[in-house]
Structure 1
Amino acid sequence: MAIFLALTVGIVLGSTVLDNTLVKSTDVLLDQAREQNDAYRAQIIHLQELSEGDNAFVTTHSGELVGGRLTGERVVLVEAPGASASMRDPLEKMIDAAGGDFAGRVTFTDKYIAKEQAAVVDGLAGTLSPDGRPFPDGASPYDKAASVIANAIVTANRSEQRTVNGATVSVLASFQAGGLITVSGDPAERATLAIVIAPSQPYDGDYAEAQTAAVVSLAAGLDNVGMGTVLAGSTLASDQGGVIAALHDDGTAAAKVTSVDTVDMPAGRVVVVYALREQLAGRAGAYGVGSEATAFEPPVPVSPTPSP
């Protein structure tokens, strides 16, 4: 009996010592975790402060950074279905700061890329083709619509800036009547340059690939008719399924249209202006912080020489 009692007491005492050791070890680990979390939190706060400082600096000095770079050019904003309205005003201000002439906006609605509307878009584009011009073989409804709309709002001839294309006078009104676009300003008085604002989120669903391709077609169509186009969005547009990622997958379009995936940052909007200048010089690139970006900005900002 004494032996069993001794064993019982030993087990109890041993487990108590073990429990105390575990508690102390757990407390130490918790203290270390708290210290590490505090350090991470301090780093995050520091990075946020740096970012806010950078944004404030660029916003304050944006006029100096872009001044005169778009003098003599007229720029139209084209919003893809799902583009954030918060992007448009800062870009308009940047165009103005760069000395550009803001033509207005063409905003594409969700209806434009709805699966059941593809035949409507195709028929409308065929009806409105300038001078009944045929489209290339294999052109999608969105390739056709992009070409028709591009001819209505951009030109590669500076002498045609601020003038209406007589062959496309009813294009914007027809697409508006169909609920496919809305218009602000005077985009029919043609621009030389275009900025296409990407959707704030990648499209989803079984028609997402075609919808994404429609935006790429739009950017490519504008670039084919005008003097340059930039497809601008956030890094989400560079992620898999995003329109900038899709642009990069289309080698032909990517060779002509410049992309910027930091337009939600003041510095990124400065880059958009530099990218437009690069387009005028006949070059294209992929800028920002996404996986396909080759640099944050064009390697050498093109000097703001006056346009003829």
Structure 2
Amino acid sequence: MIDFRYHLVSTVAIFLALAVGIVLGTTLLQDPALDLAKKTSDELYNANNGLRADLDALRGREAGNDTFIAGMTPEMVAGDLTGQRVLLIDAPGSSTAVREAVQQVLDQAGAEVSGRVTLTEKFLDPKGKGVLDGLVNQLKPVNMIFPATATSWDRAAALLSATFVTTDQAQSATPNPATADVISTFEAGGLISTEGDPAKRATLAVMFAPEKPYEGENGEIQAGALVSVAGGFDLGSKGTVLAGGAAGAASLGDPVALLRDEGEISKRVSTVDTADTPVGRVAIVYSLREQLSGRAGQYGIGKGASAPIPVDTSATPTPTESGS
């Protein structure tokens, strides 16, 4: 008869055998497993060092290119915008440093900056469309007619562009008497602020997109409002460029990317997504020259860009030869 002591001894023996097996198995596998782990770690370490070296080399090359372009910029843009007045438009969240650097290059190109208009967050707030519409209806000239499909920002852009820019070179540097109260009323309403003398109209405009795409439930609406403003200023002037930095990924709140997706507006308004670099600032000047000739393009390194800079910067389109 098998008693309890036999069961106990048998059970202990089984567990002891299992323990011995685990110990032996671990010992046998320990060296190969450690060797594989060490080999993988070494490979990752070497690959990381290689990537760091490549990154450092690229950064060094970029810095060298930037230094070269910055040094050559005065010669590259000299006289390109002589006789033109340029209005600068800041969007909420745009970079002061980028705008100041662009203004310096515009000066080197011979342009005169008429002034600066800063759009406020209140201007872009969808909840304030009623106020915006009311002011536009109150201040617009009687002969200003809006399309039935025009949004609140389309209408506001038309009124602001009539105030700040013109397509007529002879009217450059003169105020528009039909919109005399627009600036003071929009400023009093907290919708814009101004610097310089932008009431003396410009012939060209550069709008600066926010450094980071707008986020949240209203991000796309706010970006779309800026696209409307850029489109409106383009219609009222000899040309408009929307300038910003290349977004790391596609975003509905990125005005530059959104404008490039707007078929009709992208045919008229130029964009530059490298405004924070020396070559991007040259591209802005070249884009304005291209606008003067009735052309537009999308430039930079981001999605939708056709080239880093415009290839042909002549103000007069090359005539097409007719066949015999």
- TM-score normalized by structure 2? 0.87
- Per-residue CA deviations over 1:130-167 (Å, capped at 9, x if unaligned) read 24523221211111110010011111111111111111
Partner of 1:280: 292
Structure 1 216/47 Cα, relative in aligned 2: closer, same or farther at 3 Å? same
SS of equivalent residue, structure 2 residue 242:
strand
* Higher deviation after alignment, 45-54 or 129-138: 129-138
Partner of 1:293: 305
Which amino acid in the other structure matches residue 300 of structure 1? D
Structure 1 11/302 Cα, relative in aligned 2: closer, same or farther at 3 Å? same
- List aligned pairs for 1:185-264, cutoff 5 A: 185-236=196-247, 239-241=250-252, 242-264=254-276
- Per-residue CA deviations over 1:259-306 (Å, capped at 9, x if unaligned) read 11111111111100000000001001111112211111112232699x
Specify the structure having the higher radius of gyration (Cα). 2
Match of 2:120 among 82, 97, 109: 109
Which amino acid in the other structure matches residue 207 of structure 2? V
- List aligned pairs for 1:1-308, cutoff 5 A: 12=23, 15-131=26-142, 133-236=144-247, 239-241=250-252, 242-302=254-314
2:293·2:315 contact (CA, 8 Å) conserved in 1? no
Q: Percent identity?
A: 41
- Please, what is the CA RMSD of the aligned residues? 2.3
Structure 1 238/195 Cα, relative in aligned 2: closer, same or farther at 3 Å? farther
2:207·2:240 contact (CA, 8 Å) conserved in 1? yes
2:81·2:109 contact (CA, 8 Å) conserved in 1? yes
1:238·1:245 contact (CA, 8 Å) conserved in 2? no
Partners of 1:236 and 1:11 in 2: CA distance: 55
Structure 1 252/11 Cα, relative in aligned 2: closer, same or farther at 3 Å? closer
Structure 1 225/32 Cα, relative in aligned 2: closer, same or farther at 3 Å? same
- TM-score normalized by structure 1? 0.92
Residue-pair matches, total: 303
Partner of 2:6: none
Structure 1 125/29 Cα, relative in aligned 2: closer, same or farther at 3 Å? same
* Higher deviation after alignment, 78-87 or 232-241: 232-241
Structure 1 125/237 Cα, relative in aligned 2: closer, same or farther at 3 Å? farther
2:292·2:315 contact (CA, 8 Å) conserved in 1? no
Which amino acid in the other structure matches residue 136 of structure 2? A
2:290·2:315 contact (CA, 8 Å) conserved in 1? no
Unaligned runs of 5+ in 2: 1-13, 318-324
1:286·1:293 contact (CA, 8 Å) conserved in 2? yes
TM superposition outliers: structure 1 runs of 4+ over 3 Å: 4-15
